[in-house]
């Protein structure tokens, strides 16, 4: 039993001494001293992918205040969009034939940051997969959708 405990302790010690690549040490990936690159922090420090309503609101508010750049991408139908949407949103209907949806996405900047949503989260989840496959780097998917945003009393517009 002692050799197993000694081996376990040795492995734990070795792991704790190795460089990490976690959120507390961005830019550190086990490189040698002298060849480290400076850490680059992402705006709002929120990883791409699914975000809840509170996080979506934070991203929206930061962009509105000029703290970061963000494109609001609404993938609902034109009719849904006309009934109300987030201020400044771009509407690309996910329910058009997939080839047309992809063609519309081709016109967008793959390096920009996007906050994407549909009504309840289903279409935008599928659109997130397509955008990821197409090489978009920073897409935040509002999993709760526009409906929950509006019910929460957050700012919406009709224009």
Domain extent listing, the chain: 1-41, 44-151
42 vs 132, residue with greater confidence: 132
pTM: 0.70
| pLDDT for position 159 | 77
**pLDDT surpassing 50 at residue 135:** yes
| Banded pLDDT at 120 (limits 50, 70, 90) | very high
**pLDDT surpassing 70 at residue 47:** no
Length reported for the chain: 159
* Mean pLDDT, range 124-149, rounded to an integer: 95
- Nearest in space to 94 (alpha carbons), one of 63, 120, 66, 59: 120
Specify whether 17 is catalytic.
no
Catalytic residue among 75, 118, 131, 143: 118
In the chain, what percentage of residues exceed pLDDT 90?
69
Q: Do the beta carbons of residue 115 and residue 60 sit within 8 Å?
A: yes
Q: For domain 44-151, give the fold.
A: Oxidized Rhodanese; domain 1 (3.40.250)
Please tell me what DSSP assigns to residue 31: P
* Mean pLDDT, range 50-74, rounded to an integer: 95
Token output for 48: 């791409």
| Banded pLDDT at 46 (limits 50, 70, 90) | low
* Mean pLDDT, range 82-93, rounded to an integer: 97
**pLDDT surpassing 60 at residue 27:** no
Beta bridge partners of 51: 142
Beta bridge partners of 91: 74
């Amino acid at each position: 039993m002692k050799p197993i405990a000694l081996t376990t302790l040795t492995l734990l010690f070795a792991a704790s001494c190795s460089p990490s690549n976690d959120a507390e040490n961005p830019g550190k990936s086990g490189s040698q001293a002298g060849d480290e690159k400076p850490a680059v922090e992402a705006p709002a420090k929120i990883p791409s992918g699914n975000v809840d309503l509170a996080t979506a609101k934070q991203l929206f508010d930061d962009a509105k205040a000029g703290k970061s750049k963000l494109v609001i991408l609404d993938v609902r139908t034109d009719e849904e969009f006309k009934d109300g949407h987030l201020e400044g949103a771009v509407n690309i209907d996910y329910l058009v034939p997939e080839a047309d949806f992809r063609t519309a996405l081709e016109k967008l900047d793959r390096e920009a940051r996007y906050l994407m949503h549909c009504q309840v989260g289903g279409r935008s989840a599928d659109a997130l997969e397509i955008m990821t496959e197409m090489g978009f780097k920073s897409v935040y998917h509002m999993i709760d959708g526009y409906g929950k945003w509006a019910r929460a009393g957050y700012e919406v517009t009709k224009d």
